[in-house]
Amino acid sequence: MAEITLAGGCLCGAVRYAATGPVTHETLCHCAHCRGATGAPMVAWITVPRADFRLVRGTPGRFAASPRAERTFCRDCGTALTYAAHDAPGELDVTTCSLDDPAAFPPRDQSWVRSRLPWSPLAQGLPTFEEFRPAGS
């Protein structure tokens, strides 16, 4: 896994971030929590090492998305930025489309497909998982 440098931020530019490290878990999530947090039928995510993520400008808003995780967003424009699961303290999920180059990280699978909206098509050719992706995949 090659180490890379990423940059991204919110739509209005109030929050900017950078990360260095390997990117893993490129996924499309269909869960109701992601839909509710973004207003989108599914959300593309990548995972980076939490220790390698840093804010470059601004301070995002934070909220307890559930008893198991915290989400961040821009307080000015509302862009969803990150998802931090309490049971994975070394990892941070970053919304793929908040990256400066989201096309560089296409999804490799789809998670929580049992929760997908019936009118939302699955991406062709990607493995699907009913809920979480199995550990190690």
How many Cα atoms are found within 13 Å in the side-chain-facing hemisphere of 43?
Answer: 22
Q: What is the mean pLDDT of the chain?
A: 92
So what's the pLDDT on residue 21?
86
| Distance in angstroms (rounded) separating the CA atoms of residues 104 and 125 | 18
Cα distances (Å, whole numbers) of residue 46 to 15, 36, 76, 137: 18, 19, 23, 13
| Distance in angstroms (rounded) separating the CA atoms of residues 59 and 67 | 22
CATH code that applies to domain 4-115: 2.170.150.70
Amino acid making up residue 105: F
Q: Using pLDDT thresholds of 50, 70 and 90, give the confidence band for residue 77.
A: very high
Q: What is the pTM of this model?
A: 0.91
So what's the pLDDT on residue 54?
97
User: What does the pLDDT average to over 56-62?
Assistant: 97
Predicted confidence (pLDDT) per residue in 32-50, tens digit: 999 999 999 999 999 999 9
| Distance in angstroms (rounded) separating the CA atoms of residues 74 and 64 | 15
